[in-house]
Amino acid sequence: MKLLVTGGAGYVGSVCAAHLLEAGHDVVVLDDLSTGHRDAVPGGARFVEADLAEAAGDLLGEGFDGVLHFAARSLVGESVQKPEIYWQANVVTTLRLLEAIRTHATPRLVFSSTAATYGEPESVPIREDSPTRPTNPYGASKLAIDHMITSYAAAHGLAATSLRYFNVAGAHDRFGERHTVETHLIPIVLQVAAGTRESVQMFGDDWDTPDGTCVRDYIHVDDLADAHLRALDRATPGVHAIYNLGNGHGFSVREVVEACREVTGHPIPAEVAPRRAGDPAVLVASSERARTELGWAPTRTTLADMVGDAWRFTQQRQQS
C-alpha cells in the first residue's frame, strides 16, 4: 500500500514507519519537525517537511491507500497551561486532514488515540466502552478527534481505526524515544543511568496501590506497531473501530525504577516527591477487543524487554 505517515519523525511514528517499510509498504512521512527529528525518519521513506494542515491536501491528491496519523502535541501538563495549542494543533489540524482525506477519497485512516481519553477510571482494566471523561485538554482533544472520525466514517465511508495507547516504551533498532522536553518515566530514569540527570523523583508513595506508587500499563513500541499493521489490513469501509492497546498488566513506578537498575547496573538514586497533578493511581488496559478482532497479542511484555531496548537505544545515541 502507499501510505502517508504524519508525525513519522517522532517516537511512535518513526517506529511504525520502519515497520511499514519492513512489511513492504511505500511510505511517505509528513512532519513539520516541531517536535520530531529529521534523522529519525527511516531511510526508505520519502520525507516531506511541511505543515500538515497545509500540505495534506496536495499530498493526498497524489493518491494514497491510507493515512497513519501520529502528528500531535502530547504533553499533558502543557495542555493544561496552553489548551489553545492542543485544540489548534490536534483538533483543527486533524479536521483539515479529514477534509483532505474526504476530498481525495483516501480509503483508510489509523489514528493515534490515547488512554487519556478515559480520564480517571471507575474500574480497571479499562475497556473501550468505559466512560470517556478526560481530565486534561490533551485527552479531550484526542477524544474530540475520535468523535470526528466516527462521523466521517459513517457519513463518508472511511475505514477508520483509533488505537488508544497506554504507556508506550522500548525502542526499535535505532528508533526510540527522545523528546526535547522529557516528562516520561522510563526515559527520565535512564537519563540518570546515562549520567545526564542526577536522580529520579517518584511522584507520590501514598497512592492506593500495592507499593504506594502509581501503576501503569507499559506496552512495547514494536507491539504497538504490529497493531497498526493489523488495523490497516482489517479496516472496514464506513466503520470506525476503537481499540485499547496495553498489556493488561500494570507495573508500579518503583518496579520501573528497580527494572532500570537491574538492566543498567546503575544504582539510580530515587526520592519520593509530591504527587503530580492529574495523575490517576492505576491505569491498566483491557485489550481483549484488539486480541479478538485484530488477532493481536503483545509479545514483549516484561519490563526487562522494554527497558532493555530503551537502554540500548540510549547508549547508541550517547555513542553517536
Is residue 116 near ligand UFG by the rule CB under 6 A?
A: yes
Would you say 8 or 280 has its CB closer to ligand UFG?
A: 280
- Compare residues 74 and 94 and give the one whose CB is closer to ligand UFG: 74
Out of 76, 98, 101, 159, name the contact with ligand UFG by CB under 6 A. Answer: 76
Q: Is residue 166 a contact partner of residue 237, using CB atoms and an 8 Å limit? A: no
Helices (H), the chain: 11-22, 52-60, 76-81, 83-86, 93-103, 137-156, 185-194, 221-234, 253-264, 288-294, 303-319
Position 283 contacts ligand UFG (CB under 6 A): yes
Among 253, 263, 290, 294, binds ligand UFG (CB under 6 A): 253
- 134 close to 117: Cβ distance less than 8 angstroms: yes
Residue number with the shortest CB distance to ligand UFG? 214
Contacts of 10 (CB under 8 A, 6+ apart): 31, 35, 36, 40, 70, 71
Stretch that binds ligand UFG, among 111-119, 240-248, 294-302, 308-316 (CB under 6 A): 111-119
Comparing CB distances to ligand UFG, the nearer of 103 and 183 is 183
Q: Which one of residues 17, 214, 235, 241 is an interface residue with ligand UFG (CB under 6 A)? A: 214
The answer for residues whose C-beta is within 8 angstroms of residue 265's C-beta and 6 or more apart is: none
- What is the closest distance, in whole angstroms, from the C-beta atom of residue 253 to ligand UFG in the complex? 5
Q: Which is nearer to ligand UFG, 191 or 315 (CB)?
A: 191
In the complex, least distance from residue 227 CB atom to ligand UFG, rounded to whole angstroms: 16
* Residue 257 engages ligand UFG in binding (rule: CB under 6 A): no
Distance CA 79, CA 86 (A): 6
CB of 143 to ligand UFG, least distance (A): 11
Q: Is 86 a catalytic residue?
A: no
Per this entry, what is the length of the chain?
320
Identity at 285, one-letter amino acid code: A
Q: Concatenate the DSSP letters of all residues of 115-153 into one string.
A: GGGTBS-SSSSBPTTS--B-SSHHHHHHHHHHHHHHHHH
Is 228 a binding residue for ligand UFG by CB under 6 A? The answer is no
Of 85, 195, 192, 77, the closest CA to residue 136 belongs to: 77
Could you tell me if 71 and 5 are in contact, meaning their C-beta atoms sit under 8 angstroms apart?
no
Site string for ligand UFG, 156-175 (x = CB under 6 A): -----------x--------
Q: Which is nearer to ligand UFG, 87 or 203 (CB)?
A: 203
* Active-site residue, selected from the candidate residues 138, 152, 165, 218: 138
Burial class (CB in 10 A: 0-12, 13-18, 19+), 223: buried
Cell numbers at residue 12, please?
A: 511512535
Question: Binding string to ligand UFG for residues 173 to 212, with x set by CB under 6 A, is what?
Answer: ----------xxx--x-----------xxxx---------
59 vs 71, beta carbon nearer ligand UFG? 71
Binding site for ligand UFG (CB under 6 A): 74, 76, 114-116, 138, 167, 183-185, 188, 200-203, 214, 216, 253, 276, 279, 283
User: What are the catalytic residues?
Assistant: 138
